[in-house]
Chains A and B, each alone.
Chain A
Amino acid sequence: MKLTLRVWRQKNADADGAMSTYEVDGISPDMSFLEMLDVLNEQLILSGEEPVAFDHDCREGICGACSLVINGDAHGPERTTTCQLHMRSFKDGDTIDIEPWRAAAFPVVKDLVVDRSAFDRIIQAGGYITAPTGSAPEAHATPVPKADADFAFEHAECIGCGACVAACPNGAAMLFTSAKINHLNVLPQGAPERETRVLDMVAQMDAEGFGGCTLTGECATACPKGIPLMSITSMNKEWLRATRKAAKR
């Protein structure tokens, strides 16, 4: 396959960026999208140009590092991560636009690399269960109904890639935040911190400069792990419940 790539190039956080056009040839349909970029980068290095910087690590769809907007879609046309997208999803002669995640809370670091540390700070605000090592009771002391365990797992699957934010026209982090809140709040172990968790995490999400939710559903469509839009509804419910409870105290 022969492809034309239009790639966002930006020297650093402060520099202005622009799309640059490159041609790549000899692309196999079995290559992953990132392997195709590897081909481009090998080509660039040999011609003395700087290769395109992009985040990637596990290349098996679980670490959440890869983060490209391909032809306007976060992670490209398939419902998966960029690293699990294969070139068989494209045609010979295609022109492909590759851009970084766009959101005020995710400033571009270089080329296609963005800073997602805002996500870490949202987790730090309350996305945990306080259980210092050594304090744990016997694992079978508290049975968890299978339905709750499955609900928790479904939301715990979030890989923190940020595709939800990238796809959201408002740059909102509702789906990411709600996934963690739902994972922990449904479990009996998470109950003692149920209210503070949702209030603090939502407050931190706002403080990071993410937008609000207009329920366009773009986030859930882009999510490579299929976190459902209803996750946000459940979080809203938790938030209202916590706000009422806090008011009573």
Chain B
Amino acid sequence: MARTVWDSTVGKKTVMAVSGVIMLLYLVVHLYGNLKVFFGLQEIDDYAVWLRNLGQPFMHHMWTIWLTRAVLVVAVVAHAVSAYQLSRRDIEARPSKYVHKKPRATYATRTMRWGGVILGLFIVWHILDLTTGTVHPGGFQDAHPYENIVDTFSTWYGNVIYIVAMLALGLHIRHGFWSAAQTLGVGSRTRDRALKATANVLALLLTAGFISIPVGVMTGLVS
């Protein structure tokens, strides 16, 4: 079965859809946690500590986080590799372009590939900045997200990178969520409007929610 799925364009799209949905679920939880930044240093830093001990005593310290990270890495890699292979295939399937050019499809649809690349690069920066602290401006402190967030969004480039990436994320989710529903065969004529609306709401909430954090720092709400 794995072979059939991976070898087929329809199967690879399924891989993309499933991994996309996993990442989307993660984002919702991630945003929910991050918004605690607006309740002050103590609340979000406590939350960070709690996350590290999540599942105890069944899980050891940090195990839940590492498990989540493992699932996410698999999802990102599967999503990206499928996307890369499918894109190459798509480009090869249409080697000559029309002389008469015409803008086609919606903006969200057209930006899936580039949006995906932007998001991939963003994730690398985001991890180096706020997980490992490698490229973090100022002193990085593990399990102190409040301070780290303030550091990052106190630089102009931190804000620019983040806001651009979140806009890309919104477009990506807007087409991606609806598209995943079609790939997984759950779309239907009666459900189409609901699916499109959900996609829009999700895209808007996630983008606005995430962007609210640098905006909070910039406006001094978070400092």
Q: Which residues of A contact B (CB under 8 A)?
A: 6, 8, 19, 69, 71-73, 97, 99, 102-105, 167-172, 199, 202-203, 205-206, 209-218, 228-230, 232-241, 243-244, 246-247
CB pairs A–B below 8 angstroms (11 shown): A171-B93, A172-B9, A205-B9, A206-B8, A213-B9, A216-B104, A216-B109, A229-B182, A243-B4, A243-B5, A246-B1
Complex Cα distance A199/B109, Å? 27
Interface size of B in residues (CB-CB distance below 8 Å): 45
Known: A97-B100, A169-B104. 8 other contacts (CB 8 A): A8-B99, A69-B98, A97-B99, A103-B93, A170-B94, A215-B182, A217-B109, A243-B1
Query: Does A233 lie within 8 Å of B93, measured CB to CB?
Result: no
Chain B residue numbers with a CB within 8 Å of A19 are 99
Complex Cα distance A98/B210, Å? 47
Query: Does B187 lie within 8 Å of A172, measured CB to CB?
Result: no
Query: Does B1 lie within 8 Å of A247, measured CB to CB?
Result: yes
With A8-B99, A170-B93 already in contact, the answer to whether A212 and B187 are too (CB < 8 A) is no
Query: Does A216 lie within 8 Å of B105, measured CB to CB?
Result: yes
Residue of A nearest to B12 (CB): A212
Query: Does A172 lie within 8 Å of B90, measured CB to CB?
Result: yes
Query: Does A104 lie within 8 Å of B185, measured CB to CB?
Result: no
User: Considering the complex of A and B, which 9 residue pairs feature the smallest CB-CB distances, nearest first?
Assistant: A237-B185, A211-B93, A170-B90, A171-B93, A72-B102, A247-B1, A212-B9, A97-B100, A211-B90
**Interface check B215, CB cutoff 8 A:** no
Which residues of chain B (159-204) have a CB below 8 Å from chain A?
175, 178-179, 181-189, 192
Shortest distance between the CB of B80 and any CB in chain A (Å): 15
Query: Does A230 lie within 8 Å of B94, measured CB to CB?
Result: no
Residue of B nearest to A178 (CB): B10
**Interface check B31, CB cutoff 8 A:** no
Complex Cα distance A45/B189, Å? 51
Chain A residue numbers with a CB within 8 Å of B175 are 215
Query: Does B90 lie within 8 Å of A209, measured CB to CB?
Result: no
Complex Cα distance A30/B5, Å? 51
Shortest distance between the CB of A152 and any CB in chain B (Å): 16
Query: Does B4 lie within 8 Å of A232, measured CB to CB?
Result: no
Query: Does A230 lie within 8 Å of B192, measured CB to CB?
Result: yes
Chain A residue numbers with a CB within 8 Å of B94 are 102-104, 168-171, 211
Query: Does A236 lie within 8 Å of B89, measured CB to CB?
Result: no
Query: Does B96 lie within 8 Å of A233, measured CB to CB?
Result: no
* Residue in A103, A105, A229, A236 whose Cβ sees the most chain B Cβ within 10 Å: A236
* Residue in B8, B12, B188 whose Cβ sees the most chain A Cβ within 10 Å: B8
Query: Does A172 lie within 8 Å of B93, measured CB to CB?
Result: yes
**Interface check B112, CB cutoff 8 A:** yes
Chain A residue numbers with a CB within 8 Å of B183 are 213, 215, 236
